[in-house]
């Protein structure tokens, strides 16, 4: 690093710079993005672009004028003192504790009323003449009928350290927040209407990718889905998902969980610790790992729990709470009609519906007509639609069919992030291969800035670039289409591009994606291995 070793003479590691430089991997380039941005590279001699900030005497160079300005481009993450308090269980959650006490009393009252109704029915049926004796035999029975009682759920499965007995004292009443197009009771005024929204995307929806989409004109961005339990454990990797670039002017964080206690506390700590404009509850994730825990799309079949989660998030924060969900869990059995009116009544700031069920995943077309019916059930709450938008014609058609207040775009943005520019300018952009390559170059610069310029950061940037390429290769240039525009879920046959670069970018082979990364980041190291997480087609393992 070029600094004095804090261990002094007792350090057992070598401090011989010349010996280290002799065995250090070759530089991947001569321009260090960190040095250019901050005046100093925090990775020192480990930087794979070391020639940009080392002199002829092998001394590290610092741009003192720029460094003293202390520029800040990215915010959020977790503070060391907050992480330590979480690890030792000493962080206080006063607003969550008050809400949990209130909910515990409500549940106890609901259970008491249910027991009384059971008792009355049994007496009416003549099962016993001794009401006192019968009352001792009454056992709590869980009611699974959402249509009869959407607000009941079993307390012991919801709380880990909160008694289900009535609280001794009521939590102080909280002033009700105004609702409408602009939520004037919050820290920041946000008008969610008539905007485009980049969907929270696991793995590929990272900060460098969101910066690319901001450059193409998207209005709203959101971090990758963060698990509430991992945030409360102070996991560094989970808190990294909260990071925000200064270009993200309307930025949210999406959390996922099934326990009222966990979700409320995660929302409270985010509200206190990070710079965020809204918090979104994931109620649509279809993957089995999340669904089996009762989170994500499983909440659509447990609406009592869903509403308590959202209400808790509202109670413990000073920012808008939003929700994203699917049509329902099963095909041909939508449940949104029992969700939308309640969210509207609760004052949820924004609701987004993915026009597919959980069982559909990403197959078949999104049902925008049904999304439109749900829009008619929302009177004050802005409602967005999501699914299959890949060009401005899709956008115009889906807006016309549904009447939604805005759209969220996921896969369409991964395949062609310039879709936001096409929507704003109402055009089909025949973007050239060189323009797309320049976009990838900006992504790698943003990746090195975000993940680091050492070997680990270089490999991480390369890996995320290849992950993104597993979507990018599906794009068919407008100039090659017989009948534009390209349609989602229609896989093209192999085609020859208008130049070698365009052909390479259309390759479905992971080995070719690594070749593209090598054009931008230099040769891959011997230990670099890439296996795509998002397997959309046939792949091969690559060791490069």
Residues labelled catalytic: 285
Element spanning 266, H or E = helix 260-273
- Cite the beta strand spans of 101-169 per DSSP E: none
Q: Is 198 helix (H, G, I), strand (E, B) or coil?
A: strand
The answer to whether the CB of 223 falls within 8 A of the CB of 242 is yes
Element spanning 392, H or E = helix 392-402
Burial readout 227-240 (b: 16 or more C-beta within 10 A, e: otherwise):
bbbbbbebbeebbb
Q: For residue 99, which phi and psi values (nearest 5 degrees)?
A: -65, -40
* Residue pointed to by tokens 């000493």: 90
Cis peptide, bond prior to residue 178, ω within 30 of zero: no
Phi-psi region of 312 (alpha: psi -120 to 50; beta: other; left: phi over 0): alpha
Give, rounded to a whole angstrom, the gap between the first and last alpha carbons of the chain: 28
Question: At how many degrees (to 10) do helices 455-472 and 207-215 cross?
Answer: 50
Q: What is the DSSP letter of 422?
A: H
The answer to whether the CB of 457 falls within 8 A of the CB of 448 is yes
The answer to whether the CB of 336 falls within 8 A of the CB of 354 is no
The answer to whether the CB of 187 falls within 8 A of the CB of 318 is yes
The answer to whether the CB of 325 falls within 8 A of the CB of 354 is yes
Question: At how many degrees (to 10) do helices 368-375 and 392-402 cross?
Answer: 50
* 268/148 Cα distance (integer angstroms): 32
Beta strands 244-245 and 74-75 are: antiparallel
């Amino acid at each position: 690093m070029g600094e004095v070793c804090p261990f002094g003479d007792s350090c057992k590691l070598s401090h011989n710079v010349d010996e280290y430089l002799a065995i250090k991997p070759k530089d991947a380039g001569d321009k260090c993005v960190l040095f250019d941005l901050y005046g100093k590279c925090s990775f020192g001699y480990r930087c794979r672009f070391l020639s940009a900030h080392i002199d002829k005497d092998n001394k590290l160079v610092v741009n003192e004028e720029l460094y003293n300005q202390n520029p800040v481009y990215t915010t959020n993450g977790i503070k060391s003192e907050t992480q330590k308090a979480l690890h030792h269980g000493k962080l206080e959650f006063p607003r969550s504790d008050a809400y949990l006490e209130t909910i515990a009393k409500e549940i106890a009252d609901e259970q008491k009323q249910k027991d009384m109704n059971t008792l009355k029915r049994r007496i009416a049926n003549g099962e016993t003449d001794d009401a006192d004796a019968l009352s001792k035999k009454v056992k709590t029975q869980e009611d699974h009928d959402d249509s009869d009682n959407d607000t009941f759920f079993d307390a012991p499965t919801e709380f880990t350290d909160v008694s289900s007995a009535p609280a001794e004292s009521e939590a102080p009443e909280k002033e009700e927040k105004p609702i409408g197009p602009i939520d004037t009771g919050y820290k920041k005024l946000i008008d969610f209407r008539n905007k485009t929204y980049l969907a929270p995307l696991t793995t590929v929806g990272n900060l460098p990718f969101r910066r690319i989409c901001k450059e193409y004109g998207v209005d709203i961005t959101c971090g990758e889905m963060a698990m509430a339990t991992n945030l409360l454990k102070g996991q560094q990797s989970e808190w990294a998902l909260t990071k925000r670039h200064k270009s993200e002017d309307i930025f949210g964080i999406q959390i996922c969980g099934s326990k009222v206690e966990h979700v409320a506390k995660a929302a409270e700590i985010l509200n206190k610790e990070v710079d965020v404009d809204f918090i979104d509850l994931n109620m649509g994730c279809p993957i089995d790992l999340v669904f089996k825990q009762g989170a994500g799309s499983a909440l659509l079949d447990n609406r009592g729990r869903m509403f308590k989660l959202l209400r808790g998030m509202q109670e413990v924060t000073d920012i808008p709470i939003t929700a994203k969900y699917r049509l329902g869990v099963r095909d041909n059995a939508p449940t949104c009609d029992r969700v939308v009116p309640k969210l509207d009544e609760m004052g949820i700031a924004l609701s987004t519906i993915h026009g597919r069920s959980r069982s559909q995943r990403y197959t078949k077309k999104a049902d925008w007509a049904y999304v439109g019916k749900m829009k008619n059930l929302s009177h004050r709450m802005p409602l967005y639609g999501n699914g299959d938008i890949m060009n401005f014609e899709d956008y115009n058609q889906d807006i016309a069919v549904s009447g939604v207040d805005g759209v969220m775009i996921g896969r369409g943005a991964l395949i062609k992030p310039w879709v936001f520019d096409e929507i704003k300018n109402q055009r089909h952009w025949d973007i050239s291969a060189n323009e797309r390559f320049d976009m990838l170059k900006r992504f790698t610069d943003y990746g090195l800035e975000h993940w680091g310029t050492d070997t680990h950061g270089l490999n991480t940037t390369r890996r995320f670039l290849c992950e993104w390429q597993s979507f990018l290769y599906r794009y068919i240039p407008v100039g090659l289409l017989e009948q534009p525009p390209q349609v989602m879920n229609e896989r093209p046959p192999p085609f020859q591009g208008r130049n070698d670069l365009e052909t390479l970018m259309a390759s479905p082979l992971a080995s070719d994606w690594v070749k593209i990364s090598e054009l931008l980041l230099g040769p891959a190291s011997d230990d670099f291995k890439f296996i795509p997480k998002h397997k959309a087609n046939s792949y091969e393992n690559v060791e490069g």
